[in-house]
Amino acid sequence: MIEAIDFSLLALTSPGWGGALLAGFLRSVELAAGGYLLGIVIGLLGATAKIYGGRILRDIAELYTLLIRAVPELVLMLLFYYVGTDLLNTLMASLGREGIDIDGLSAGILVIGLVQGGYATEVFRGAIRAVPPGQIEAAQAFGMSPFRVLRRVTLPAMAPHALPGMANLWMIATKDTALLAVIGFSELTLVTKQAAAATREYFLFFIAAGLLYLALTLISNLGLRWLERRARRGLPAAA
């Protein structure tokens, strides 16, 4: 027999868990946004290294994307989080410095960013390749420096090609934050699990968490659609 669901458990203040859920949700959004932005930076560096870099830079970028894309994300996260901080502390110790304490948020952003960067590198690489070389050549012929060519021509011209892939990566970033529950981040999934376990209302809390993830996706879609319209200005409408 199904008992009536006690929605008061979702109240924002104790004994309700709503406030904790929202805090976890905000933490998830922070992790996703930070990791995504870091991923964009790494992706741009990786893509330019792969396309314009010398042999060594190219090999490094190649190895990075190979590893990121070959190893399951959960394993990568565990690896970066535990081994990464360990390595960092050992390194600092060998340099005679004391170990640094990375706070949870930075560590989480770093972990998500490193994973996202691997995929973003490939998205940007494909998008840059899709820019007709003549447009870049024209910029060079007018005496633009390589950096300016990149900033004024290559990057804006590749943006519409990168957006669908990057929109995808944002969705993945929001959901990858849930994996961080395994490491003990009190993001939405972990908080939900705690709330559910404490109250035995698994259905209620996981539905609530699902709705929060869904809301994030729907709002993101609006933003992404606006971005895509903006990036595609000047391009013929998609067939």
Partner 1 sequence: MNDATPAVEIRDLHKRFGRLEVLKGISLTARPGDVVAVIGGSGSGKSTMLRCINMLETPTAGDIAIHGEDYKMRATRDGGLEPADRKQLQRIRAQLGMVFQSFNLWPHRTVLGNVIEVPVQVMGLPRDEAVARARQVLDRVGLAAKEDAYPSQMSGGQQQRCAIARVLAVEPLAMLFDEPTSALDPELVGEVLNVIRDLASEKRTMILVTHEMGFARDVASHVVYLKDGRIEEQGPPEQIFGDPRSPHLQQFIRSIA
State the residues that interact with partner 1 by CB under 8 A. 132, 134-135, 137-145, 148, 152-153, 156-157, 159-160, 231, 233-236
Coil, helix or strand at residue 54 = coil
Min. distance of Cβ 166 from partner 1 in angstroms?
Answer: 16
Whether the CA torsion 85, 88, 93, 99 is positive or negative: it is negative
Q: How far apart, in whole angstroms, are the C-alpha atoms of residue 133 and residue 87?
A: 42
How far apart are the C-alpha atoms of 201 and 220, rounded to whole Å?
29
Nearest approach, Cβ of residue 126 and partner 1 (Å) = 18
Minimum CB distance to partner 1, residue 196 (Å): 49
Rounded least distance, CB 156 to partner 1, Å: 5
8-state DSSP, 163: H
State the distance between the two ends of the chain, measured CA to CA, in whole angstroms. Answer: 54
Asked if 31 contacts 108 with a C-beta cutoff of 8 angstroms, the reply is: yes
Q: Which is nearer to partner 1, 56 or 141 (CB)?
A: 141
Between 200 and 233, CB nearer to partner 1: 233
Nearer to partner 1, 44 or 153 (CB): 153
Long-range contacts of the stretch 60-65 (C-beta < 8 A, 24+):
61/121, 64/117, 64/118, 64/121, 65/118, 65/121, 65/122
Smallest distance from partner 1 to CB 202, Å: 50
Smallest gap from Cβ 140 to partner 1, in A, equals 7
Dihedral (CA of 28, 29, 31, 35) sign: positive
Whole-number minimum distance, CB 160 to partner 1, in Å? Answer: 8
Whose Cβ is closer to partner 1: residue 157's or residue 180's? 157
**The tokens of 105 are what?**
């948020």
Nearer to partner 1, 197 or 235 (CB): 235
| Residue 52 tokens, joined | 């314009």
Nearer to partner 1, 96 or 134 (CB): 134
Closest by CA to 158, choosing from 180, 188, 136, 143, is: 136
Q: Could you give the CA distance from residue 145 to residue 153 in angstroms, rounded to a whole number? A: 11
157 or 190, CB closer to partner 1? 157
